[in-house]
Amino acid sequence: MKSLKARLGVMATALALALTACADSDPLNAGLDSGGPGENTVVVGSANFPENVILAEIYSQALEAEGFTVERRFNIGAREVMYTQIESCRITVVPEYNQALLAFLDPDASAKGAEEVAEALESSLPEQLTVLDPSDAQDNNAIVVPQELADEHNLKQIPDLAPIAGELVFVVHRNGNRGPKVM
């Protein structure tokens, strides 16, 4: 049977980063005495926001396609809660964002760029946790404007908005429990 890490490698392009628990032992048998997964069961967790739940579902389906039994523990909560769950082997794998995780583990970290952040993460994580290879995917902010506005003002990047910023209005709406929606 392929290792969990090898099988998850197939999915690496779908995620910014993943944490796997109990790397020093067989992750499929991790946490048997602590409410963790059993043999051939992978517990996939997620934070409590839609994007992270979608990424966790992608992981779940890919693992199931590889023959694993998957237990889903989505919408766990904030990073602090999720991190304690993976440290205690109650979760086997969770999608994560490398820069955000590094800021959580080491608020004084100054690493920039994918390679530097990955190195800093490896040295910041406890031995029982490991970070899988990050994908080329990025989690970036964007502002979308009507095509006519972009053409009229030659808008290509966010800084291009500066000359017309006084003319623009951003409206933030609460979208249920899903957080703000900018219109």
Chain segment 60-83, per-residue pLDDT in tens: 998 899 888 999 999 998 888 988
Question: What is the pLDDT confidence band of residue 174, given thresholds at 50, 70 and 90?
Answer: low
What is the radius of gyration, based on Cα positions, of the chain? 19
Q: Are 125 and 167 in contact (CB under 8 A)?
A: no
Whether the predicted pLDDT of 171 surpasses 60: yes
Q: What is the pLDDT of residues 6-60, one digit of tens each?
A: 444 433 333 334 555 554 444 433 333 344 455 668 899 999 999 899 999 998 9
CATH number for 4-131: choose from 3.30.565.10, 3.40.630.30, 3.40.50.300, 3.40.190.10.
Answer: 3.40.190.10
Phi, psi at residue 61, to the nearest 5°? -65, -40
DSSP state string for 31-52: TTTTT---TTEEEEE--SSHHH
Q: What is the model's pTM?
A: 0.62
